[in-house]
Structure 1
């Protein structure tokens, strides 16, 4: 029987926190591979906790590293988050020889973690083919092909095209009946939280978002299928579930609302979170009351900007009057300021700091928590193309420079003191 190893590599960054994260794409690969007669092994380099936070969140352990040359002007401590290198190598040795290795990737600027995982795999298993996939691999295919050291870089979603790649390495797999759903695979001991995806893709094409680049269209799972997953997680002792959908509320009459009614009817007594941001336009009174009764405690809404022209030019997914109405509906259902957080972006192409300040004032007036989100340019998006056309970026830009922590500092003409003052004001307001 063939042995297959799946790896979620480290995060290399200035900051990182676990907001109910799991490598769902890699887990879907594992689900696909469970349909063959293979022995699956799994190493999640991010399955490490330094300090627990409320609702199942946690801080990762951090190993301080030299700051990469392209980021040398950033006065923050760069590092590797997750398990130690020695622990990773110990697990490789413990697993022993394998026939195939899959390594996932997420943020484009986290690619050093992918490179390190490939290097160590090649050190311990020099003749084993390594396949790198995931978001970075899909968005920065040429860069990944050139720099990761992988034997193959896989673009796109999990489907039978993976099989042809595997067979290209001379591996002939034998199918078995059925698949094991990814959430039933026994890879994690710590099960107090879990992310969940009830859909793939997004019907919107916002200029700053890669969802439409990564996903061909928009599809939703059947509500009964979602409930089976939630029921299983509940039986395993999970307390916190985070919806990671890009468009959770779209078509809610036939999707989310039936799911919420079933959750309420079964009395699961879980806490739910929406870290990805939900579309305020689709919040109606019934949805708000169902979410409250089902146990939603962390709502993140996406506003991004209060400039009507920019709202229209970046996708038109919500406007200020709609947004204010949706917040009022949520408050009418019993949600308070501490439950409602709103993403407001800064560093968008052509965006002055004055616009960001106006957004902060607007949200403070609505009495919701403000979450300033640094813009990060993503290859293939409208904003990326605009920045390339203006000469701000080049197509072959090192992905390290797209880091959301540094982009506004390096490429936006913001006053650093003004930005710090604004962040301080927001932090003080959020504590009230």
Structure 2
């Protein structure tokens, strides 16, 4: 019998909050492997946090030196998650494995990936290390050259698993049905769970890499989604976060049947949408079902209040559509505290005045405001625009694309003014 270890690495960043996140990509790899006669082990380096309201949490953090390229950046840099001692102790407890699968998420979190690979190589020596995930896909050349992994896989590993295993000298054949990740025994306690009801996105926003990472748009069977939620609720999960890129798209075929079926149950659970909903798709029927099903955290994506930039970046929402969505949500009983809107700053060509006007607009609308710093992503229109204008180079160190770093270095906004605006937004949010 073959054994495999799956690892979700640390976050290395200036700030990190756990908004019901778990390594969904790594779970898909585990589910694909479960069809074989194998033993699976997992180390989630981010499974260390202090639970707060709705089972959100702050990751445990350890200050670490800033990477050389950020040595003069004026903020404290930290490793988020379990300690290195905890990690090595867990490695020691696992029997010899045939391969190690390591995922990667934000491109600028790669120092955490590299540190995990270094330690794994030290302890497991000749065991092949397979690196996949978002960073490995978007910055493949960088990962191949610098990560230390034996194999770097771009795209969805689970769809090419046999070839991946063959590349490291392993041949396996399916002998059973796959097991869902939550039945594989990876976690002792499951207070929250992310839910993905679809893959990909039908929209092509200039700053988003969804269409780069996932070709096409696929909806899961609503019955399968409902079953997953019921199963997880029976295991003690209290909070569910939808991480779809387009949760409300084709609502009549998808989210409406899901919410309609869940409304018939008495599950005593809560739902959250941290990824941002398309305001244009919020109808009174959807809003009422969201209210019945105890949606506690609603995030809407606006990004900019400028009609011109809305069109330039993909045209997914207008101010009028946002206003209508907010009106509907408040009509069915959602409070200002529950409704939040994402507003981006630092987009290519976006002035500070445009950002300030967006803040004023949302304050008048009476919703919570969540400022989101722009981060350039390879393969997007915004990335190509920055390259062509000479703002960044194709071989930029991915760590510079960190949203906090990039906005400070390249937005052109006066640092003091943007901080004043952030403080004003924070004060406003606290008063809601």
The TM-score with structure 1 as length reference comes to 0.99
> Mapping of 1:258-337 within 5 angstroms?
258-337=257-336
CA contact (8 A) 1:100 1:129 kept: yes
Write the deviation string for residues 323-378 of structure 1: whole angstroms up to 9, x where unpaired.
11111011111111100010000000011110011111111111000000000101
- Following superposition, the deviation at residue 160 of structure 1 comes to 4.1
The answer for unaligned runs of 5 or more in structure 2 is none
1:360 matched to 2:359? The reply is yes
The residue aligned with 1:250 is 249
- Following superposition, the deviation at residue 219 of structure 1 comes to 0.6
The whole-number CA distance in structure 1 between the counterparts of 2:404 and 2:60 is 19
The whole-number CA distance in structure 1 between the counterparts of 2:241 and 2:340 is 15
The whole-number CA distance in structure 1 between the counterparts of 2:51 and 2:87 is 22
Write the deviation string for residues 106-126 of structure 1: whole angstroms up to 9, x where unpaired.
000000111111111111111
The residue aligned with 1:32 is 32
Instruction: Calculate the aligned-residue CA RMSD, in Å.
Output: 0.9
The whole-number CA distance in structure 2 between the counterparts of 1:288 and 1:171 is 49
> Mapping of 1:81-100 within 5 angstroms?
81-100=80-99
The whole-number CA distance in structure 2 between the counterparts of 1:412 and 1:295 is 39
1:372 matched to 2:371? The reply is yes
SS at match of 1:287: helix
1:222 matched to 2:221? The reply is yes
CA contact (8 A) 2:341 2:369 kept: yes
CA contact (8 A) 1:280 1:318 kept: yes
The residue aligned with 1:420 is 419
The residue aligned with 1:130 is 129
SS at match of 1:179: coil
The whole-number CA distance in structure 1 between the counterparts of 2:159 and 2:420 is 52
The whole-number CA distance in structure 2 between the counterparts of 1:140 and 1:324 is 38
The residue aligned with 2:400 is 401
Write the deviation string for residues 259-298 of structure 1: whole angstroms up to 9, x where unpaired.
1111110121211000000100000110111101111010
CA gap of 1:422–1:331, structure 2 versus 1, over 3 A, is same
1:8 matched to 2:8? The reply is yes
- Following superposition, the deviation at residue 183 of structure 1 comes to 2.6
- Following superposition, the deviation at residue 72 of structure 1 comes to 2.2
- Following superposition, the deviation at residue 158 of structure 1 comes to 3.5
- Following superposition, the deviation at residue 67 of structure 1 comes to 1.0
CA gap of 1:29–1:159, structure 2 versus 1, over 3 A, is closer
SS at match of 1:93: helix
CA contact (8 A) 1:183 1:229 kept: no
The whole-number CA distance in structure 1 between the counterparts of 2:94 and 2:299 is 40
> Mapping of 1:43-54 within 5 angstroms?
43-49=43-49, 51-54=50-53
The residue aligned with 2:109 is 110
The whole-number CA distance in structure 1 between the counterparts of 2:72 and 2:369 is 28
Deviates more, 1:69-78 or 1:314-323: 69-78
- Following superposition, the deviation at residue 23 of structure 1 comes to 0.2
SS at match of 1:380: coil
- Following superposition, the deviation at residue 309 of structure 1 comes to 1.0
- Following TM superposition, the consecutive aligned residue runs of length 4 or more in structure 1 with deviations greater than 3 angstroms are none
The TM-score with structure 2 as length reference comes to 0.99
CA contact (8 A) 2:132 2:157 kept: no
The residue aligned with 1:234 is 233
- Following superposition, the deviation at residue 184 of structure 1 comes to 2.0
1:72 matched to 2:71? The reply is yes
- Following superposition, the deviation at residue 405 of structure 1 comes to 1.3
The residue aligned with 1:121 is 120
CA contact (8 A) 2:157 2:164 kept: no
SS at match of 1:405: helix
The residue aligned with 2:142 is 143
CA contact (8 A) 1:196 1:241 kept: yes
The whole-number CA distance in structure 1 between the counterparts of 2:329 and 2:58 is 30
CA contact (8 A) 2:105 2:133 kept: yes
The whole-number CA distance in structure 1 between the counterparts of 2:260 and 2:158 is 32
CA contact (8 A) 1:202 1:217 kept: yes
The residue aligned with 1:350 is 349
The residue aligned with 1:209 is 208
The whole-number CA distance in structure 2 between the counterparts of 1:252 and 1:331 is 20
